[in-house]
Structure 1
Amino acid sequence: MILFISCAKTMTGRNRLQVPFTTNPPFETRAKRNVMEMSHFTSDELSRLLRVNSKIAAENYLRYQDFFSADTPALPALLAYTGMVFKRIDAASFTPEDFTYAQEHLLISSFLYGLLRPLDLIKPYRLEGDVRLPQQKCTMFDYWKPVLTSWFIETIQKQGGTLVNLASAEMKDLFYWKQVEANVQVITPEFLVQKGEKPKSVTVYAKMCRGEMTRFLLKGRVEETGQLNTFEWEGFTYRHELSTPRHPVFVLG
């Protein structure tokens, strides 16, 4: 079983947590080429491309300018991202065995790096899927599709042929998704909050639950798909009447 989660927009360049080993990203050469192209954008251009304010644009301008400096530290991907999903995964509580298991069973999307394993060393950046680099005529989504799809499928097949898709919906566009679904079993959990007669998705709760389920599956070494339905967190429980085998639904309230 492979778990798939989204990267986060927020990152850190410092973390003292020790991990048992580190690795290089599988598409690091492409990532470095992407950085070289991103470094040509001015701060004002980054503000427009990334849809961020001038402060965040300036921060990321410096990140791209300093990316290849020996003074810019690299961190394992699981420690570098600081968004809600990663906070709920809580890597600080992982044992060396947890990190090793996660390295084999978790993949993280990245518009810069393509796909990452938890212990792949990366540097801080910010990039969006709809950005077109100066030397490319396509978005980052379309850039990565022919590169990632076969590798993604083969990695899932090596770990039993089941993908638990805990990434945001847009991350499907990094792949030829119909090809993925044709070659592996894809399970996409959904987390809803009961509001009135019909449960609805609430973004902050969905992100928290994706992180908590990732933690639950990694720490518990869960390999059987039926065990996903035993996940419970802060009142979220499995609802059989709303679910299908490939779309388990968990509701709060």
Structure 2
Amino acid sequence: MMILISCAKTMSDKATYNVPFTTTPIFKEYAIRESIELSERSTEELASMLYVNTDIALKNHLRYRDFLSEEPQPIPALFAYTGTVFRNINPKTLSQEDLAYAQDHLLITSFLYGLLRPFDTIKSYRLEGNVKLSENGGISMFDFWKNELTDLFIDLVNKNGGTLVYLASEEMKDLFHWKKVEKKINIIYPEFQVMKKDKLKTIVVYTKMCRGQMTKYILENRIENIDELKNFSWEGFTFNEERSKGNKFHFIFF
């Protein structure tokens, strides 16, 4: 069983945890090529491209400028991102065995690096899927990565049992030819909702927290059978058989 989660917009610029080993991103050369082009963009251009304010744009302008420098040193991806999902995985609390398992069963999307394993070392950056770079033929990052990632992704999942737990955001499907992916592997789509006034509502922050907690649950318990996934519970979110249909697993807080 494999897990897919999304990259986060927020990242750490300094390593705070010593890991037993590191690996090189599969598409590191693409990331270098793209970072060089982005380093040539002004702060104002980056602000427009990334839909951010001047302060964030300046921070990332400096990141891209220093992308090939020795400092700051790259950080393993699982520890580099600091968004809600990653805070709830809380990788520092995982055992060495859990982390080793994660390396083979967890994948992280990235607009700059394409697809990452937990111990792939990366530099901090910010990028959006609709950014178009001349180095990539002037097409969006979404369209650029489709041909590069789809078959690789399918192969990685099939080598690990052929089942994927999709815990990424909806937009990350656009990094792949998703219809082809769905035909080639078995995908489970967990959904996390809150019952309010007899209506189910999706609350983004709770969804992100649950995605992180479910990832942690799978890693710590070495979940390989999809039925075992139904045993996941966290802070009142539990599996609901009645509302779950097919490959959509509903976890509801009443």
TM-score calculated relative to the size of structure 1: 0.99
What's the secondary structure of 1:242's corresponding residue?
coil
In terms of mean alpha carbon deviation, does 168-177 or 33-42 score higher? Answer: 33-42
Aligned 1:24-39 pairs, distance under 5 A? 24-39=24-39
Amino acid at match of 2:163: T
In terms of mean alpha carbon deviation, does 9-18 or 221-230 score higher? Answer: 9-18
Alpha-carbon RMSD: 0.7
**Equivalent residue number for residue 232 of structure 2:** 231
Amino acid at match of 2:167: L
Whole-angstrom CA distance in 1 between matches of 2:22 and 2:248: 34
Whole-angstrom CA distance in 2 between matches of 1:71 and 1:110: 21
Amino acid at match of 1:66: D
1:162 touches 1:185 (CA, 8 Å); kept in 2?
yes
**Equivalent residue number for residue 84 of structure 1:** 84
Whole-angstrom CA distance in 1 between matches of 2:245 and 2:163: 15
Aligned 1:74-153 pairs, distance under 5 A? 74-135=74-135, 136-153=137-154
Amino acid at match of 2:237: F
Whole-angstrom CA distance in 1 between matches of 2:180 and 2:206: 30
Whole-angstrom CA distance in 1 between matches of 2:231 and 2:76: 30
**Equivalent residue number for residue 18 of structure 1:** 18
Whole-angstrom CA distance in 1 between matches of 2:130 and 2:203: 24
Whole-angstrom CA distance in 1 between matches of 2:107 and 2:232: 20
Amino acid at match of 1:122: I
1:31 touches 1:112 (CA, 8 Å); kept in 2?
yes
What's the secondary structure of 1:240's corresponding residue?
coil
Q: What is the CA distance between 1:244 and its match in structure 2?
A: 1.6
1:191 touches 1:251 (CA, 8 Å); kept in 2?
yes
Amino acid at match of 2:145: W
Aligned 1:102-251 pairs, distance under 5 A? 102-135=102-135, 136-251=137-252
Task: Number of aligned residue pairs: give it.
Answer: 253
CA distances 1:196-253 after superposition (whole Å, capped 9, x unpaired): 1211100000000000000000011000000111000000011111102310000111
Amino acid at match of 1:210: R
CA distances 1:106-125 after superposition (whole Å, capped 9, x unpaired): 00000000000000000000
In terms of mean alpha carbon deviation, does 107-116 or 240-249 score higher? Answer: 240-249
Q: What is the CA distance between 1:71 and its match in structure 2?
A: 1.7
Which consecutive unaligned segments of at least 5 residues does structure 1 have?
none
Aligned 1:55-70 pairs, distance under 5 A? 55-70=55-70
2:14 touches 2:72 (CA, 8 Å); kept in 1?
no
TM-score calculated relative to the size of structure 2: 0.98
Which runs of at least 4 in structure 1 moved beyond 6 Å after TM superposition?
none
Whole-angstrom CA distance in 2 between matches of 1:166 and 1:223: 16
2:107 touches 2:117 (CA, 8 Å); kept in 1?
yes
Amino acid at match of 2:207: A
What's the secondary structure of 2:102's corresponding residue?
helix
What fraction of aligned residue pairs are identical, expressed as a percent?
Answer: 51
Whole-angstrom CA distance in 2 between matches of 1:80 and 1:163: 23
2:6 touches 2:110 (CA, 8 Å); kept in 1?
yes
What's the secondary structure of 1:251's corresponding residue?
strand
What's the secondary structure of 1:250's corresponding residue?
strand
Q: What is the CA distance between 1:98 and its match in structure 2?
A: 1.0
Amino acid at match of 2:41: F
Amino acid at match of 2:108: I
1:20 touches 1:99 (CA, 8 Å); kept in 2?
no
